[in-house]
Structure 1
Amino acid sequence: MAKGKQYQAASEKVDCEKLYDLEEAIALAKEVAFAKFDETIDIAVKLGVNPKHADQMVRGSVSLPNGTGKTVRVLAFAKGDKAKEAKDAGADVVGDEELVEKVQGGFMDFDKVVATPDMMALVGKLGRVLGPRGLMPNPKVGTVTPNIGNVVKELKAGMIEFRVDKNGIIHAIVGKKSFDSQKLFENIKALLETLVRLKPSTAKGQYVRGITVSTTMGPGVKVDHQKVINTL
């Protein structure tokens, strides 16, 4: 009940009819956050696409310049020199056939998965295990790559993956409440620039139709999306 009252009090400080400047929205979201832990800063971007059509599926990845503030455990499927490259880059778990079997057996102590192309015939067996968790390596988001060392470094530093949901919305983590507002602004800008670059050629009308910033527990703050997009 107390949390309900706290949320209501926080919501009263946000004008639900107003579209805030991005900088103002970030500051307000941080200000009204009430949880005792360092809340995540989330963003929801409404796109003018129809995800039911394959040619309007917006999916990709972006390296946030200031990271996410989260410790990311990376598992890498690779062998030989590529396995050493992944390990040297900071991968937490590296392996080939035996690691595939370990994951099939229930090992899930990782947050991200990357693989070299030659490993995908084996890794494909893990589709039912990794797919539902959004962990299956995919060349479209850069997690199936011969440049495994670079991708491991990016994942450890804060590379995030995103995929439009059935309602045409991209949900992403862009940092922590404890982040300086300018760092959050830079992370959000990097994500939005990537989304604009990935605009499907078949998408008609206005592409970015809404942006909302919030913390894990706090209310959403609507952003003047048109103003933001015009500055990219």
Structure 2
Amino acid sequence: MSPEQLKNIIEAALFASRQPLNVNQLGKLFAEDERPEPQAIKTLLQELARDWEGRGLELKQVGSGYRFQVRAELSPWISRLSEERPPRYSRALLETLALIVYRQPITRAGIEEVRGVAVSSSIMKTLLEREWVRVVGHREVPGKPALYGTTRKFLDDFNLKTLSELPPLAEIRPVDHVQKELELRMAEESLETEDGDAGENDGDTLEGALPAVTADEAGAAAANEEPDKEQGIVAEALH
């Protein structure tokens, strides 16, 4: 089978699939006697990405694999295809998500300690139902509170390959920019958001939404969360 035929098959599979496909899944499309090596598949994927440069779609690698998607800058037009209004998220929900993302694994009490207010059950329910966060373990203290971390779906929905691609807090974009990127993936999904301030903080950044934390406070919080042990739990959860 020629390289061009292999590339066409991979391209068609990515278009037909509703979920991202990884190299192993793409390899299983072929019989054993014609199956390309993983490195050959990666090379073909790189060629496909170049083929689609400058067009309305792009080949993107995210946490779960590779997928074709509409370019984020086109979302203002493409989102009009959906009759439903894309979900908007409250500042409280985005604060909570940001803390889980940047301090995972973290307990609910740890989130409340930094924010200075209680985390509503509806916020945690929304994040869990959206499959952006999951319980990755339990802290070895009385009561064994749940530890929360992010998921592969979080990486997929935020166009990330790995958590290492997350920007430093100082470089986080305004919430409305993040919202536009999410609209492409969720315009057709309904989501019950927290009543009240949803959509009222379009000018806020995730960094601005977080309470100010001094270096000493950050160090103390990190120590309380036992990072060495718990980071291993998150790494295992993401693989």
User: Given the two structures, how large is their TM-score scaled by the length of structure 2?
Assistant: 0.25
Which is greater in Rg?
2
Instruction: Answer 1 or 2: higher relative contact order, Cα 8 Å, separation at least 6.
Output: 1
**Higher fraction of strand:** 1
User: Given the two structures, how large is their TM-score scaled by the length of structure 1?
Assistant: 0.25
